[in-house]
Amino acid sequence: MKSMSLKGVLFVSLLATGPAFAQAVKTSPGNPTLCAAAKTQPCASDACATKCGIFLTLPAGAKYVATHYFTTAGNPNDRADVYETGAQELSLARFSEAAHAPNQQKEEVITVYYYNRANRDRKIAISVDYQ
């Protein structure tokens, strides 16, 4: 009897949360890209920074959930490989917030810009969660 009640509660819970929560979130990983150092040093603003764009296209029909930001930037020394940092300011560089919009094929395209004001090249990447 207790087993039947539990099954009923689970069924009602699944109905209440709707299909959006029933779908698993998938991740589309991006490949690391090199972003060159700022050509003018010292560089204290985005105006003199090297601006590098990253674009990632999701499968047709996918719904955007979130973007993850990765870089080798570190303080006082950069790292050997990319790690997740978020979009905040970090060691003379920053990511823009992700913009996403459908293209002509109805695929969601995510665009992020990285502003590198440092005197050294850095690797950057993004990954995107979607349903």
Residue spans per domain, the chain: 23-130
Assess whether pLDDT exceeds 80 at residue 65: yes
Q: What is the pLDDT of residues 7-57, one digit of tens each?
A: 433 333 334 444 544 578 999 998 999 999 999 999 999 999 999 999 999
Cβ proximity of 60 and 74 under 8 Å:
no
| Model pLDDT, residue 75 | 86
Query: What pLDDT, on the 0 to 100 scale, is given for residue 106?
Result: 85
- Is pTM beyond 0.85 here? no
Q: How far apart are CA 52 and CA 102, in angstroms?
A: 21
Q: How far apart are the first and last CA of the chain?
A: 36
Rounded to whole angstroms, how far apart are CA atoms 104 and 108? 10
- Residues 70-128 pLDDT 10s: 999 998 899 999 999 999 999 999 999 999 998 888 889 999 999 999 999 999 999 99
CA–CA distance, 129 with 40 (Å, rounded to integer): 36
Residues 6+ apart with CB under 8 A from 39: 48, 50
Q: What is the pLDDT of residue 80?
A: 95
Residue with tokens 């990253």: 54
